[in-house]
Amino acid sequence: MRLRGTSQFNDQGHLEIGGCDTVELAEQFGTPLYIMDEWMIRQRMREYMQAFQKTGLAFQVAYASKAFSTLAMCRLVAEEGLHLDVVSDGELFTALKAGFPAERIYFHGNNKTREELEMGLDAGIGWFVVDNFNELSMLSSLAYKKGLTARVLLRTTPGVEAHTHTYIQTGQEDSKFGFNLASGQVHKAVERCLQYKGLKVDGFHCHIGSQIFETDGFRLAVQKLVTLSEECRNLFGFQTRILNLGGGFGIRYNEEDRPMSVDQYIFAIAEEIRSGFSEKDIPQVVVEPGRSIVGEAGTTLYRVGTIKQIPGVRKYISVDGGMNDNPRPALYRASYEAILANRTSEQPEETVSVAGKLCESGDMLIWDIDLPHVKSGDLLAVTCTGAYNYSMANNYNRLRRPAVVFVRDGYSDVVVRRESMEDLIKNDRIPNRLLTPNGQC
Ligand SMILES: Cc1ncc(COP(=O)(O)O)c(C=O)c1O
Ligand SMILES: N[C@@H](CCCC[NH3+])C(=O)O
């Protein structure tokens, strides 16, 4: 298995991340445990910033917080000088509570509520990425009433089908996201923006999908937005100042995955931008990577419990988490790698399948993985779980969501504490009619 970031095997044969022995982390913080390699997260953010610096274009890198949103993560993003993409009042709240500069925030969403729009306006966020006509008129009247001007990007569906799982494709025409480009909806939206009060439209956004391994889709999307920009200049005298190309840059979950380097993705986009616009018209370029910032920096540590050999069928090893902390295998058939964190020097001896502990047959984390002879009590480290794991975690079967620990230079800090039993019931209420006459349960 490939070691990433600061991961290494120490003299005791244990997996170490950020200078911390994972066996000790498991003892100290319990399992399941999300471990985030802080150095690697920072490194990935810097790779994007440096790649753009090399292109000479005006740019912004906006981290897509849906991949992993916590107070500490928002702080890292702020410190590294990136912008932030939020997609709900909850993500916006988290960013603001972390002290993230509001003017560096993009607010997404295909069904933003009035309250969400007001929250964004009141906070003074940078841009609303407007998805539809309802939102456009609601935002205009709210901003106007407040005496504000909302800066807007129009989300387009450019009709580009990214080569990825259909559930994480977003740029194709038949999509719930954005204004349809081919049918002229985007042009109409630009026209309305220019008529409506309280709005200042800066440009266009598209996001073609996630976990993309090639640059053709991004190039095609740029070409479509270049054409759109030309058309809107001719029709309305509108000058595109910002082009936001979304995220979707792939990562290496396992050996079969072949992502391109950050430089390759960004250079391809930059090349297409330069060939599409004349020098004086080149807009500021924005990308919104999520997975590729945090995905490979995350490792989930589980304790092995039950081991079940079904003769002639397969051997299941069960761990103390599952689809509640990582729903991606069940949702997308996503595949992961793992090692025994407490016995890294031992060679693989058997093929096993890793099951979660939830009450679903589909609650499988890994099918058919070669590991040393697994024993109950071993620690299993599943790699590449930094994106869309904690952020999609849930309490199915009333399991508690794991803690999240940032590790760096031998220090480990809990950035999200493990949920308690009390957390599970803190919003529950028993109605009076279910209480006995003397008020007891
Ligand atoms: C609008 C938008 N921007 C950015 C992202 C981040 O994508 P990824 O995590 O694949 O980089 C997404 C999610 O796919 C998205 O919907
Ligand atoms: N949640 C998805 C990605 C969707 C991103 C949002 N547009 C995943 O785990 O891969």
Number of neighbouring beta carbons within 10 Å of residue 24:
13
- Is ligand 2 within 6 A of the CB of residue 155? no
Residue 248 alpha carbon to ligand 1 centre in Å: 5
388 ligand 2 Cβ < 6 A: yes
CATH architecture, domain defined by 8-37+295-425: Beta Barrel (2.40)
pLDDT at 375 over 60: yes
CA of 235 to the centre of ligand 2 (A): 36
The verdict on whether residue 408 carries a ligand-binding annotation is: no
* CB of 145 closer than 8 Å to CB of 194: no
pLDDT for the residue 167: 54
Peptide bond into 32 cis (omega under 30): yes
**Phi/psi at 217 (nearest 5 deg)?**
-65, -40
**Confidence (pLDDT) at 75:** 98
Using the predicted structure, report yes or no on whether residue 402 has a pLDDT greater than 70: yes
Which pLDDT does position 255 carry in this prediction?
92
Separation of 149 CA from ligand 2 center, angstroms?
31
Residue 352, classed as helix, strand or coil, is strand
For atom 16 of ligand 1, the residue with the nearest CA is 207
**pLDDT tens profile 31-60:** 999 999 999 999 999 999 999 999 999 999
Q: Averaged over 74-84, what is the pLDDT?
A: 98
Q: Is 291 annotated as a binding residue?
A: yes
Task: Identify the pLDDT of residue 436.
Answer: 76
Round the average pLDDT of the chain to a whole number and report it: 96
Is residue 172 very low, low, confident or very high in pLDDT (cuts 50, 70, 90)? confident
Q: Could you say which architecture CATH assigns to the domain 108-289?
A: Alpha-Beta Barrel (3.20)
Strand bridging mode 314-319 / 298-310: antiparallel
Q: Looking at the CA of 44, which ligand is closest?
A: 1
* 15-17 and 8-9 beta bridge pairing: antiparallel
Please check if 289 is assigned to a binding site: yes
Does the annotation count 20 as an active-site position? no
CA distances from 201 to 128, 140, 190, 306, 419 (A): 9, 11, 7, 57, 42
Taking the model in full, what pTM does it have?
0.96
Q: Of these residues, 20, 206, 232, 359, which one is catalytic?
A: 359
ipTM value of the model? 0.98
Above 60 in pLDDT, residue 406? yes
Cα(240)–Cα(85) distance, integer angstroms: 20
Contact assessment for residue 343 and residue 23, using Cβ atoms and an 8 Å cutoff: no
Give the tens place of pLDDT for each residue, 289-322. 999 999 999 999 999 999 999 999 999 999 999 9
In sequence order, which residues have a C-beta less than 8 Å from that of residue 289 and are 6 or more positions away?
44, 48, 61, 63, 64, 247, 248, 249
For residue 392, the ligand 2 atom closest to its alpha carbon is 1
Q: Domain segments of the chain: what residues?
A: 8-37+295-425, 108-289
